[in-house]
A and B are shown apart, each in its own frame.
Chain A
Amino acid sequence: MSVIDPVAALQAALAAEHAAVFGYGVAGARLSGAAQASARTLWDAHRATRDRLAAMITARHAVPVAAAAAYRLPVRITSPRTAATCVATLEERLAAAYLGLVGVDDVKLRTLGAESMQEAITRAVRWRNAPPRSSFPGIGSTGLYPIPD
């Protein structure tokens, strides 16, 4: 039996989606052409996911966490390149935020968490135009046990 509360795990995912929605909004303004179109599509996708998560939390008789007025972005956006790096980092953080859902007892939530992690890392790879940055996306090195060499 898991010790992770499903509502807490959903709230963590929602909080990260709020940050991603904010970040895509800021980054989109710095991008152009196909990259901007992608950012726009993904901004919509993250807003839809945010709303789905909020509805799932409400259905569990809890109050969804609200978005902050502004977020400190992981990368200072000064160019199209830094905008891409910023949203890639937000996607990687999303993967970490969804990890909690994979540890709950509800198998549907676990699947949602696992699939969301795959989608987030796929998007991060495309934004970075580079392979995944870690062998274990979403898990910090201290979370791995036994610890690899």
Chain B
Amino acid sequence: MLGDLNHTTCEESRVPRAVASRSLSGPQTVSPPVMAVTRRAVLSGVVLGGTTALGLSGCSKKRPQELKPHPDVAVLLGAIATEERLIAMYESTRKAHPDLARRLDPLLAHHRDHLTVLRRHYVPGTGSSTTPSPGPTAAQSRPAQPRQTLTGATEAAPGDRRQAVAALRLTEHQAAAARSDEVTRVSPGLAQLFASIGACEAGHAAWLTRVS
């Protein structure tokens, strides 16, 4: 059972790489030449390989400017922005309190890993954090900004050690809550990545209660 799920997870995790691709390859855009083919066959890719489907979709009447980024893109950009702010915050705290560095560095390394993987799921040019990406429905097209304002992210770390750690803990807690919220709004593979990052951030918040 677990083995099967892990396998599924592995496959699912491959999904998000495509999130930034425009909605050209959907079955609904398949044009008249393949109308005789059953929908099931098209969906299962038996008749059309992914590349062929993309090629054929070029016959679609849609003009490029009508195409919209996948709603995942906005959420992904928000998560990337959060990780960047967290990294900046850890770096400034580390600088202000060198004695905390040893205990903060593993957490900072986790965030750098998160940022690396999130960035690899994003194809530049498919949306920008300054222009909210319009999605198919209002509910899905949230702005790319993180939902909560992350406190003190770009400012200098508090001079007081306890306050500096408390600020990090609060930000980690908010980030974990945001990831948990986002799992309902993205594709399954990306949802699993977000859930894992959120779990790591919740763990950071717990660990930071013991750092002072």
Contacts and interface: CB of A to CB of B under 8 A. Distances in A.
B204 interface: yes
A102 B13 contact: no
Contacts, number: 160
A41 B64 CA distance: 58
Interface string A119-135: 11110111001111011
A145 to B, nearest CB: 5
B208 to A, nearest CB: 9
Nearest to B114: A135
Given A12-B5, A104-B188, A121 B183 contact: no
Given A110-B191, A135-B200, A8 B183 contact: no
Nearest to B5: A100
Interface string B177-209: 001100110001101111111111011111100
Q: Determine which residue in A16, A99, A113 has the highest number of CB atoms from chain B within 10 A of its CB, and name it.
A: A99
Interface in B116-151: 116-117, 120-121
A73 to B, nearest CB: 16
Interface residues of B, number: 47
B203 A132 contact: yes
B12 interface: yes
A143 B6 contact: yes
B156 interface: no
A148 interface: yes
Interface residues of A, number: 53
Interface in A60-113: 65, 95-100, 102-105, 107, 110-111, 113
Contacts of B4: 8
B5 A117 contact: no
B176 A118 contact: yes
Contact of A3 (B8, B116, B202): B8
A103 B9 contact: yes
Given A2-B188, A103-B189, A135-B200, A130 B207 contact: yes
B64 to A, nearest CB: 26
Interface string B1-37: 1101110111111100100000000000000000000
B110 interface: yes
A115 B200 contact: no
B197 to A, nearest CB: 7
A33 interface: no
B207 A8 contact: no
A118 B172 CA distance: 12
Nearest to A3: B8
A135 B193 CA distance: 11
Interface of A: 2-4, 8-9, 11-12, 15-16, 65, 95-100, 102-105, 107, 110-111, 113-115, 117-122, 124-126, 129-132, 134-140, 142-146, 148-149
Interface of B: 1-2, 4-6, 8-14, 17, 106-107, 109-110, 113-114, 116-117, 120-121, 176, 179-180, 183-184, 188-189, 191-200, 202-207, 210
Given A9-B5, A122-B202, A132-B207, 15 more contacts: A8-B1, A16-B2, A103-B188, A111-B180, A118-B198, A118-B202, A121-B202, A125-B207, A131-B106, A135-B109, A136-B117, A137-B199, A144-B193, A146-B120, A148-B113
